[in-house]
């Protein structure tokens, strides 16, 4: 049964906790920051490609919660150099990290490449977040070593469209091309499948951290309204559908808020609204594919100056 979850009532006091949210300036990320700020965390690092776009959000939150400590951080996940700089900025400001939201993303965009030459949806939705996570992991692990069990969490926002990846799941041999021959929806599903597999790989290798992936539901966000650079056909389709079946951002954010706050969250699971464990596609359950992605990701990050995966338990 879906969990009955009211963020105002059911998120516990977050005193002392440090939270990082990528894509925290709009949509699900902004709602996540808004709801968490109401529960007294020590600090929230709001990461955005253009931090100034979060100024009005932060001002509004502070008008309701004057003691809220929200720091905007410039993070462009299409550039691994920007990703390194963002992580370094956060690590220079805090000795602990309790919750990491890998929330930012793009959807169904035309063929293009990131700064380092990866297909944009895969590069931003997966590889940029993987490097960001790798850089922050030592602090997450340190925090977990002195915190209650299951309290340190990594939450990755995926999509039910992970099931629309390639016929064999991943196509890593082409990830360093724009993948132009493939449909935008397939390329998007590819990146979202990587989100699920990456969360499961983190859960396996770092049992001291609770790592999950989730589908927030079909949410009425700017991206789904066609205002975030999506393919034209998709934008037209979504504008017609979203009014019929889309849920509000407030409703859509509940699953990722539940993943941060609920006691029953199980590491390595894939959740759908609200707090419902789903098996995911057959590729999301493929342990060999999970390990293949982990090895490929580690190799690519090393080639781009990543520090490597820290040792866990």
pLDDT in tens, 80-110: 999 999 999 999 999 999 999 999 999 989 9
Q: What is the pLDDT of residue 137?
A: 98
Q: What is the pLDDT of residue 193?
A: 98
Q: What is the pLDDT of residue 228?
A: 43
Catalytic residue among 35, 192, 200, 254: 192
List of domains in the chain? 7-303 (3.40.50.720)
Q: What is the pLDDT of residue 77?
A: 98
| Of residues 2 and 309, more confidently modeled | 309
How far is the C-alpha of 217 from the C-alpha of 104, rounded, in Å? 15
| Of residues 231 and 151, more confidently modeled | 151
42-55 as b/e: b if 16+ CB within 10 A? ebbbbbbbebeebe
Backbone dihedral angles phi then psi of residue 112, each to the nearest 5 degrees: -165, 175
How far is the C-alpha of 19 from the C-alpha of 137, rounded, in Å? 13
Q: What is the pLDDT of residue 246?
A: 73
Average pLDDT over residues 143-169: 96
| Pairing assessment for the beta strands 276-278 and 153-157 based on DSSP bridges | unpaired
How far is the C-alpha of 48 from the C-alpha of 60, rounded, in Å? 17
Q: What is the pLDDT of residue 288?
A: 98
* Residue 2 banded pLDDT, cuts 50, 70, 90: low
101 is catalytic: no
pLDDT tens column, 216-270? 998 875 554 444 444 555 545 555 555 556 789 999 999 999 999 999 999 999 9
| Of residues 313 and 64, more confidently modeled | 64
Catalytic residue among 118, 188, 206, 271: 188
Average pLDDT over residues 35-62: 97
Order of strands across the sheet that contains 70-74: 70-74, 43-48, 18-22, 99-102, 153-157, 210-214, 270-272, 276-278
How far is the C-alpha of 128 from the C-alpha of 78, rounded, in Å? 7
192 is catalytic: yes
From residue 22, how far is each of 38, 71, 102 by CA, in Å? 18, 12, 6
In the predicted model, is pLDDT for residue 168 greater than 60?
A: yes
Q: What is the pLDDT of residue 53?
A: 94
Q: What is the pLDDT of residue 240?
A: 57
Predicted TM-score (pTM) of the model is: 0.94
């Amino acid at each position: 049964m879906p969990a009955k979850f009211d963020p105002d009532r059911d998120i516990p006091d977050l005193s002392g906790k440090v939270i990082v949210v990528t894509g925290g300036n709009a949509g699900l990320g902004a709602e996540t920051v808004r709801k968490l700020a109401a529960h007294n965390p020590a600090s929230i690092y709001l990461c955005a490609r253009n931090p100034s776009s979060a100024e009005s959000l932060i001002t509004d939150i502070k008008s309701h919660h004057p003691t809220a400590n929200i720091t905007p951080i410039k993070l462009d996940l299409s550039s691994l150099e920007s990703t390194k700089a963002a992580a370094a900025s956060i690590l220079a400001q805090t000795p602990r990290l309790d919750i990491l939201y890998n929330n930012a993303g793009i959807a169904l965009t035309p063929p293009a490449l990131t700064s380092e030459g990866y297909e944009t949806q895969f590069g931003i939705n997966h590889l940029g977040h993987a490097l960001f996570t790798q850089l922050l992991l030592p602090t997450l692990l340190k925090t977990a070593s002195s915190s209650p069990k299951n309290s340190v969490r990594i939450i990755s926002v995926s999509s039910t469209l992970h099931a629309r990846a390639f016929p064999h799941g991943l196509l890593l041999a082409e990830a360093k091309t724009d993948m132009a021959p493939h449909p935008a929806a397939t390329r998007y599903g590819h990146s979202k499948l990587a989100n699920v597999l990456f969360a499961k790989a983190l859960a396996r290798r770092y049992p001291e951290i609770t790592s999950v992936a989730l589908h927030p539901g079909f949410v009425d966000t700017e991206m789904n309204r066609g205002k975030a650079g999506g393919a034209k056909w998709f934008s037209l389709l979504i504008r017609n559908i979203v009014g019929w079946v889309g849920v509000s951002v407030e409703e859509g954010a509940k699953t990722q808020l539940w993943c941060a706050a609920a006691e029953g969250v199980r590491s390595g699971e894939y959740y759908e609204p609200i707090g419902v464990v789903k098996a995911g596609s057959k590729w999301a359950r493929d342990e060999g594919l999970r390990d293949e992605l982990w090895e490929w990701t580690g190799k690519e990050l090393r080639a781009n100056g990543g520090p490597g995966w820290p040792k866990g338990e």
